[in-house]
Amino acid sequence: METFFCQNCGENPANLWVTKIMDGQVTKQHLCDECFRKLSGYSLPFTLALPLNIMNPLMNITDAIQPVKTAKFKVCKNCCTSWSDFLQTGSLGCPQCYQSFSKYLQPIIEDIHSSFTYKGKVPKRLPDGVRIKASLKHLKQKLFKSIDEENYEEAARLRDEIQALKKQLDHACQDAKK
Amino acid sequence: MQKNSSSIILTSRIRLARNINGFPFPEWASSEDQTQVKAIVKKALQNLPSSFTYKELARAKESERNLLVEQNILSGHFVKDHLQAKAFAYNAKGLSIMVNEEDHLRLAIQQQGLMLEETWPVLDKLDTSLSEKIEYAFSQDSGFTTACPSNVGTGMRVSVMIHLPALCLEGKIGPMITALSESHITVRGLFGEGSMALGHIFQISNLNTLGISEEETILYLQKVAKSLERREKLARKNILSKKRTNLEDKVSRAIGTLKFAYLLSYEEALAHLSIIILGQSLGLAANLKPLKNLAILSTQLRDGHLRQQKGKRRSISLESLRAEKVRVIIG
């Protein structure tokens, strides 16, 4: 298997692909943990937990790290986990952390997945409004796909299903208001 | 369940990461939270169409835990510490569940051969049944929320274990790995991140869990695995036609070592078995009995499995036992 060596010390195997953006100038380097710490002044134990295997298309570390100075003491109100807790362990504290740290998580998520759009299944048990909205989104994606594939019979069936769900959503919203 | 089994594509595995709404992720959960999560999962597993063996991790003996890790039912990380906080379940259909690993639930299914399209409905059904009883942490925008942002979305990791000795011998594996990385595929050696590809066995898996549906992920991995299988077959034919003597030499040396060695490390055994299996797929080493799927051999020869077979011969070393076992395997 191909091994990249650190472009700073040239001795240790590199396990980080670091992109620096300074004054509009973009530089990219393969670095080992030790040199990354020396050069950036940040400790990065969370690299152990995130998929930063050198074979992966790697995340842009500086994008994730740049906001750290200001975010260091940012805490999720729901679970009290801080952003620096996440950086140390690689684990967020609770599902609400995604909202609490959305500004800092966005570049990480974009680098890993190259997308923000969820296209998967919807679990059965959810609060009514969330379930219906998620199902609507899922069905609309399927509708566009079936139109692309010129499967109009399926598209008509999906359209009817979407209309029925929209009615359910209206009822759920009215019930919530009451 | 073996219709697609080939000597090149060894195993297929799909796992889903799920969390329960209202609880902190396992890394930050109190022991009370962890106990509650285990109780919720245990209750949800009752009255499912397929029955599961549920066990507290702390109640499993070390030897059992090691065997389950070697069979890929539990992860090495899962059995490392905090045993009291964790539990697991599995059934005869190849389904397994880890409770309080990195996420509250890690549901998985594993089968030999390229079996993604066949096994996905089975795992999907289990996940859907559980989602009727458990309120998963889910948002319409980002999907299933997970402890690590690398899994958020579908929470799905599809992995195929694949045996690529000819591509390795031809020196084509490096550029191929680079190309796959650019196509959002992670490539690892047999034992996960950072390890060498023991026995020329690689694991390919999807990187993205957002922007791609479960079905699309499965079709994509299937396509990539089949394409690698075609390339490996071509490389094998090429070696046979252009470097036959070299290959015969390698195969014979591998047979010689395995037949006459008294001590074998796992790495050495796997490296030679890999070459013999390559030779047998091209009609060489016909005087040996056909070897089993390398995935089975690579599990049977691991330390935990060998330790189970020591029986009364407590003083025998694992290297010595492995050499004995290999001699029986190759006949």
Q: Which of A31-35, A57-61, A165-169 has the highest mean pLDDT?
A: A165-169
Q: How many CB atoms lie within 10 A of CB B305?
A: 17
Beta bridge partners, B55, equal B88
**B103 CB burial (10 A radius; 0-12, 13-18, 19+):** buried
CB within 8 Å of B322: residues ≥ 6 apart: B264, B265, B266, B269, B301, B306
User: CB–CB of A98 and B212 under 8 A?
Assistant: no
The pLDDT of residue B305: 93
Of residues A98 and A176, more confidence is placed in A98
Among B17-21, B263-267, B293-297, the minimum mean pLDDT is found in: B293-297
Contact A7, A31 (CB under 8 A): yes
Angle at which helices B318-330 and B266-281 cross, to 10°: 10
Summarize the confidence of residues B304-322 as an average pLDDT: 89
Q: At A68, is the pLDDT very low, low, confident or very high (cuts 50, 70, 90)?
A: very low
Of residues A86 and A62, more confidence is placed in A86
Q: At A26, is the pLDDT very low, low, confident or very high (cuts 50, 70, 90)?
A: low
The whole model's pTM is what? 0.79
A130 interface with B at CB cutoff 8 Å: yes
User: CB–CB of A113 and B153 under 8 A?
Assistant: yes
Chain B nearest C-alpha distance from A43 (Å):
18
DSSP sequence for B319-331: HHHHHHHHHHHH-
User: CB–CB of A92 and B181 under 8 A?
Assistant: no
User: CB–CB of A53 and B153 under 8 A?
Assistant: no
Nearest Cα to Cα of residue B202 among B173, B161, B236, B159? B161
Contacts of A119 in chain B (CB under 8 A): 153-154, 210-213, 216
For B120-158, the pLDDT digits (tens) are 999 999 999 999 999 999 988 899 999 999 999 999 999
Beta strands in chain A (DSSP E): 16-22, 25-31
User: CB–CB of B181 and A124 under 8 A?
Assistant: no
The pLDDT of residue B219: 97
User: CB–CB of B147 and A2 under 8 A?
Assistant: no
Among B60-64, B72-76, B287-291, the minimum mean pLDDT is found in: B287-291
B43 interface with A at CB cutoff 8 Å: no
B131 interface with A at CB cutoff 8 Å: yes
Chain B nearest C-alpha distance from A104 (Å):
11
Contact B128, A124 (CB under 8 A): yes
| Tokens coding B30 | 């109190």
Contact A76, A96 (CB under 8 A): yes
B176 interface with A at CB cutoff 8 Å: no
Residue in the block written with tokens 């999560």: B37
Tell me the pLDDT of chain A averaged across its residues. 74
Question: How many whole angstroms separate alpha carbon B140 and alpha carbon B20?
Answer: 16
Contact B103, B18 (CB under 8 A): yes
Closest chain A CA to residue B209: A113
Closest chain B CA to residue A113: B208
User: CB–CB of A124 and B128 under 8 A?
Assistant: yes
**A19 CB burial (10 A radius; 0-12, 13-18, 19+):** middle
Nearest to A50 among B19, B150, B173 (CB): B150
Instruction: Check whether B203 has a pLDDT greater than 60.
Output: yes
Tell me the pLDDT of chain B averaged across its residues. 91
For A124-144, the pLDDT digits (tens) are 888 777 778 878 888 888 888
Beta bridge partners, A26, equal A21
Of residues A47 and A159, more confidence is placed in A159
Angle at B87 between CA B84 and CA B90, to 5 degrees: 155
User: CB–CB of B182 and A94 under 8 A?
Assistant: no
Question: How many whole angstroms separate alpha carbon B326 and alpha carbon B316?
Answer: 15
Chain A nearest C-alpha distance from B316 (Å):
34
Nearest Cα to Cα of residue B99 among B125, B73, B123? B73
The pLDDT of residue A6: 73
Question: How many whole angstroms separate alpha carbon A77 and alpha carbon A86?
Answer: 14
Q: At B213, is the pLDDT very low, low, confident or very high (cuts 50, 70, 90)?
A: very high
A77 interface with B at CB cutoff 8 Å: no
How much is the CA Rg of chain B, to the nearest whole Å?
21
The pLDDT of residue B312: 78
